[in-house]
Amino acid sequence: MKKKFLTIRLPYIILGLGIFLWLFRLRYFTSSIVPLGYDPGMYKEIFSHYRNIITSFDFSLLPQWIRHEPLLWILAAFANKLWVSFDRMLTRWIGIINLIPGILLFWRFKSKSKNLRRGVFAAILYRTSIIQYQVFYRWYFKQTLGVSIMLLIIIMGEKKKLFLQSLLFFFLILLHKHTALYTWAILGIYAVVERIQTKELPWKKILSRTIAGWLALLIYIPLRDRIMTEAVKAVGDGSGGDFITPTMYLKYSWPIILLSLVGAWWRIRNKFFDVWLVGYSVWILWILFSLVNYNRTLVFLDVFILIFAAYSLFKIVQLRFPIGKYLVGILFLGWSAYYIVYINDNALPLISQEEFISIKNIHKITEPNALVMNTHRNYSPWIMGRSQREYINPGMADSDLWTHQQRNQWRSVDGRQKCDILRTTYAKLSRPLYIRLWSQQFVENLSWWYCFFPTTGGTTRILFKVSLQ
C-alpha cells in the first residue's frame, strides 16, 4: 500500500510543493513598495517612451540607449493604450511570465514521456533554481520571455510544425537578439546532427528559419550602425554580461549540475542525440570558451541542466528498489529548504523605502526642465522611471557627456575641482542641474566646494543644486 501511494502520489506532492514555493517567492515581490531587482525602473522609462511614439512609429524619437528590440515595448504600449497601467504590468506580469518556462517544461516532458513524474520533476527544478530566482529578482523580463519562446521553438520543431517554429523565431529576433543568437546556434548545430543521423539535409527547416530570420532583420536596418557597434564591443571586450559568474553558479547549483551530467551521460551512452542534448552541449561550450555575453548564457544553460537533472531523477524513481523514490523525495525537500533560506537572505530591494520615496519626490522640488545627475548605479533605474525628470546616468542617457575615465577622475578630486569639471562640461546646456549623494554613494571628497547648494524638502535633503555660472 505504501509503495503504491508513493508511486501514484509522489508527483502530486512535489507539484504542490512547487506551488507553495512560487507563492512564497511572490510574497517577497509584492510585500514592499520598492520593486525588487534593477530593471523595473528602466522598464517604466522605456514603456513611457514607446507610449509617446506608438502612433507615429518614429523610433528616432527614442533615446539612443533604448533604440533596440521593439516587440515587448510596442506590445506594452498598446496594452497601456487599451486598459493596463504600467505599474500593474511592472508589479504583476513578472510573476505570471516567470511561470511560463516551468509550465512549458512540464507540458513537453509529460506529453513526450507519457509520464507525469518527469514533467513534474522538470517544473519543480525550474521553480527551485537559484539561477531562475536571480532572473526573477533582477526582473529580466525580456530574457524570461526569450527563454519561453526558445523552448516553444524547440518543441514546435519536434512536432514538425515548421510554420509556427519560423513565426516564433521571427518574434524572438524582435524581442531579444541574444536569445535569438543562442537559439540559432542550437538549431544550426542540430541540423548538422540530423544530416549525419538521417543522411538527408533538413532543407525545409533551414529554409523556413532563414526566411523568418531575414524578414525580422529587415526591421533592424535603421539601427544597423548601432547594432554593429554593440556587436563589435561585445566581442572585443569579452564582456560576460551583468549576472552571476560561472564560479558562483557552481557554488549554488553543484548538486543539480552533477545530476544533469549523469542524465547527459545516460543519453550519450544510449546514443540518443536529440536537440536537447545539443542545446546542453552548446551552452557548456559557450561558457567554457567565454563567448559573447557568457555570464547571461547561464540563464539558458541552467534550463538545459534542469532538464537533464530531471531525467536523472526520473531514472532513479524507475529503479526497482523503493529507496529510489525516498531519495528523490529527500532531495526535493532538502533542495527546497536551501531555496527558502536563499530567498530569505537575498530578497531585499537594492535601495531603501526612504530613498525610493525620496526619488519619487524629486519632481516636487526641481524645475520641469531640470537634469538629475546620478553617481551610483543602484539608483539609476529609479531615477529613470520615478523622478519624472531627465537624468544623467553613466552610459544610459544622451545627456551623459563623460567618459568612464572622466568619471573616475571626478571621484578622485576635491569639491573645488568637481565644480570646475561640472561647469566646463554642463554649463552650455543652460538647464538646472542637480546632483544627489546617496547612502550607497562612493566616498566623495567635497572639501572646498563652491557650487553645491543643498535643497530643502525632508527626505530629499541631500539633493544639491549645482551652480553652473
Angle subtended at Cα 89 by Cα 84 and Cα 93, rounded to the nearest 5 degrees: 125
Residue 312 has pLDDT above 80, yes or no: yes
DSSP 373: E
Q: Is 349 helix (H, G, I), strand (E, B) or coil?
A: coil
* pLDDT at 2 (0 to 100): 46
| Cα dist from 187 to 197, 211, 290, 306, 407, whole Å | 15, 14, 20, 20, 43
Residue 400 has pLDDT above 50, yes or no: yes
Residue that has been written with the C-alpha cell 546632483 in this structure: 435
* pLDDT at 128 (0 to 100): 87
Of the listed ranges 140-149, 172-181, 205-214, 233-242, the one predicted with least confidence? 233-242
Residue 5 has pLDDT above 90, yes or no: no
Residue 407 has pLDDT above 70, yes or no: yes
Compute the average pLDDT of residues 364-372. 87
Residues 410-462 pLDDT 10s: 777 887 888 888 888 888 878 888 887 666 665 666 677 778 777 765 444 47
* pLDDT at 303 (0 to 100): 94
Q: How do 452-454 and 433-436 pair as beta strands?
A: unpaired
Split at pLDDT 50, 70, 90, the class of 309 is very high
* pLDDT at 362 (0 to 100): 87
Angle subtended at Cα 308 by Cα 303 and Cα 312, rounded to the nearest 5 degrees: 145
Q: 393 or 240: whose pLDDT is higher? A: 393
Which residue in 89, 102, 107 sits closest to 25, CA to CA?
102
- Computed over every residue of the chain, the mean pLDDT equals 79
Counted residue by residue, the chain has a size of 469
Residue that has been written with the C-alpha cell 523565431 in this structure: 169
- CA 392/CA 372 separation, integer angstroms: 6
Residue 148 has pLDDT above 90, yes or no: yes
Compute the average pLDDT of residues 138-163. 89
**Is the Cα torsion angle 324, 330, 336, 339 positive or negative in sign?**
negative
- CA 20/CA 18 separation, integer angstroms: 5
* pLDDT at 428 (0 to 100): 80
| Cα dist from 289 to 275, 281, 407, 428, whole Å | 21, 12, 32, 47
* pLDDT at 277 (0 to 100): 93
Which residue in 350, 203, 183 sits closest to 278, CA to CA?
183
- CA 44/CA 141 separation, integer angstroms: 12
* pLDDT at 117 (0 to 100): 77
Split at pLDDT 50, 70, 90, the class of 1 is very low
Question: Element (H or E) spanning 186, and its range?
Answer: helix 177-198
Residue 340 has pLDDT above 60, yes or no: yes
DSSP string, 212-237: HHHHHHHTTGGGHHHHHHHHHHHHHH
Residue that has been written with the C-alpha cell 531575414 in this structure: 214
The residue type found at 75 is L
Q: 359 or 116: whose pLDDT is higher? A: 359
Split at pLDDT 50, 70, 90, the class of 305 is very high
Residue 218 has pLDDT above 50, yes or no: yes
* pLDDT at 153 (0 to 100): 94
Residues 110-141 pLDDT 10s: 766 556 778 888 888 898 899 988 888 888 88
Q: 308 or 270: whose pLDDT is higher? A: 308
Which residue in 300, 260, 307, 294 sits closest to 148, CA to CA?
300
Of the listed ranges 6-20, 118-132, 136-150, 268-282, the one predicted with least confidence? 6-20
| Cα dist from 338 to 127, 130, 366, 459, whole Å | 13, 9, 47, 38
Residue 464 has pLDDT above 60, yes or no: yes
* pLDDT at 346 (0 to 100): 81
Q: How do 463-466 and 371-373 pair as beta strands?
A: unpaired
What are the percentages of helix, strand and coil residues in the chain, rounded to 5? 70, 5, 25
